[in-house]
Amino acid sequence: MGPTIKDVAKKAKVSVATVSRVLNNQPGYSEKTKKKVLQVIKEMGYQPNAIARGLINKRTQTIGVLFPSVSSLFSSKVLHGIEHIAHERDHSVIVCNTDTDGKRTMKYLQVLGEKQVDGIIFTSEVLTEDYYRVLKAMNIPVILVSTFSLRYPFPYVKVDDKHAAYHATEYLIKQGHRKIAMISGTEGDEIAGTPRIEGYREALRDYGIPFQENLFVFGDFGYRSGCAAMKKLLERGEEFTAVFAASDEMATGALSVAYQHGIKVPDQLSIIGYDNLQIAEMSVPPLTTVAQPLFEMGKLAAEMLLTMIETGVTVESRIMPHSIIERQTVAKPL
Amino acid sequence: MGPTIKDVAKKAKVSVATVSRVLNNQPGYSEKTKKKVLQVIKEMGYQPNAIARGLINKRTQTIGVLFPSVSSLFSSKVLHGIEHIAHERDHSVIVCNTDTDGKRTMKYLQVLGEKQVDGIIFTSEVLTEDYYRVLKAMNIPVILVSTFSLRYPFPYVKVDDKHAAYHATEYLIKQGHRKIAMISGTEGDEIAGTPRIEGYREALRDYGIPFQENLFVFGDFGYRSGCAAMKKLLERGEEFTAVFAASDEMATGALSVAYQHGIKVPDQLSIIGYDNLQIAEMSVPPLTTVAQPLFEMGKLAAEMLLTMIETGVTVESRIMPHSIIERQTVAKPL
DNA sequence: GGATTTACCGTAAACGTTTTCGTCAGTGTT
DNA sequence: AACACTGACGAAAACGTTTACGGTAAATCC
pLDDT, mean of residues A257-266: 93
Is 90 exceeded by the pLDDT of residue A334?
Answer: no
CB contact under 8 A, B76 and A70: yes
Give me the percent of chain A exceeding a pLDDT of 90: 94
Is 90 exceeded by the pLDDT of residue A27?
Answer: no
Of A239, A233, A250, A318, residue with least CA distance to A289: A250
CB atoms within 10 A of CB A280: 24
CB pairs under 8 A between A and B: 151
Chain B, 270 to 299: residues with Cβ < 8 Å from chain A are 278-279, 281-286, 295
Distance CA B72, CA A127 (A): 28
Give residue-wise pLDDT tens across range B90-136: 999 999 999 999 999 999 999 999 999 999 999 999 999 999 999 99
Per-residue confidence (pLDDT) for residue B195, from 0 to 100: 95
Confidence of residue A82 (pLDDT cuts 50, 70, 90): very high
Query: How long is the CA B20 to C1' D3 vector, in angstroms?
Result: 34
Helix axis angle for A194-206 and A161-174, nearest 10°, is 40
Of A282, A285, A286, the CB nearest to B279: A282
Of A111, A79, A191, residue with least CA distance to B80: A79
Give residue-wise pLDDT tens across range B22-32: 999 898 898 89
Is 90 exceeded by the pLDDT of residue A28?
Answer: no
Of A168, A126, A189, residue with least CA distance to A275: A168
C-alpha distance from B57 to closest chain A C-alpha (Å): 11
Contact B246, B74 (CB under 8 A): no
Confidence of residue B334 (pLDDT cuts 50, 70, 90): confident
Mean of the per-residue pLDDT values of chain B: 95
Give me the percent of chain A exceeding a pLDDT of 70: 100
B24 Cβ within 7 A of any nucleic strand C atom: yes
Give residue-wise pLDDT tens across range A40-49: 999 999 999 9
Confidence of residue A313 (pLDDT cuts 50, 70, 90): very high
Q: DSSP string spanning B136-171? A: HHHTS-EEEES---SSS---EEEE-HHHHHHHHHHH
Confidence of residue B292 (pLDDT cuts 50, 70, 90): very high
CB atoms within 10 A of CB B231: 16
Beta bridge partners of A216: A182
Of B151, B191, B177, residue with least CA distance to B243: B177
C-alpha distance from A204 to closest chain B C-alpha (Å): 30
Give residue-wise pLDDT tens across range A110-163: 999 999 999 999 999 999 999 999 999 999 999 999 999 989 999 999 999 999
Q: Which nucleotides of chain C does any protein CB come within 7 A of?
A: 7-12, 14-20
Name the nucleotide nearest A8; use CA and C1'. Answer: D16
Query: How long is the CA A33 to C1' C3 vector, in angstroms?
Result: 30
Determine which of A224-228, B16-20, B110-114, B186-190 has the lowest per-residue pLDDT on average: B186-190
Strands B216-218 and B242-245: unpaired
Of B325, B234, B319, residue with least CA distance to B286: B325
Helix, strand, or coil (residue B264)? coil
Give all domains of chain A, ordered by start, each with its CATH number.
5-48 (1.10.260.40), 57-159+294-321 (3.40.50.2300), 161-292 (3.40.50.2300)
Distance CA A81, CA A76 (A): 9
Per-residue confidence (pLDDT) for residue B28, from 0 to 100: 86
Per-residue confidence (pLDDT) for residue A9, from 0 to 100: 94
Distance CA B45, CA B2 (A): 8
Give me the percent of chain B exceeding a pLDDT of 90: 94
Of A80, A249, A255, the CB nearest to B97: A80
Contacts of A253 in chain B (CB under 8 A): 282
pLDDT, mean of residues B35-64: 96
Is 80 exceeded by the pLDDT of residue A1?
Answer: no
In order of A135, B108, B154, the CA distances from A55 in angstroms are 21, 21, 32
Of A281, A283, A279, A255, residue with least CA distance to A269: A255
Contact B274, B289 (CB under 8 A): yes
Q: Choosing among B118, B134, B264, B282, which should be mutated to test the A contact, i.e. which has the most A CBs within 10 A?
A: B282
**Where does A237-293 have alpha helices with state H?**
248-260, 278-282
CA A74 to centroid of chain Cα atoms:
7
Distance CA A256, CA A263 (A): 10
Query: How long is the CA A154 to C1' D5 vector, in angstroms?
Result: 60
CB contact under 8 A, A97 and B114: no
Confidence of residue B318 (pLDDT cuts 50, 70, 90): very high
pLDDT, mean of residues B181-210: 94
Contact A78, A295 (CB under 8 A): yes
pLDDT, mean of residues B25-53: 94
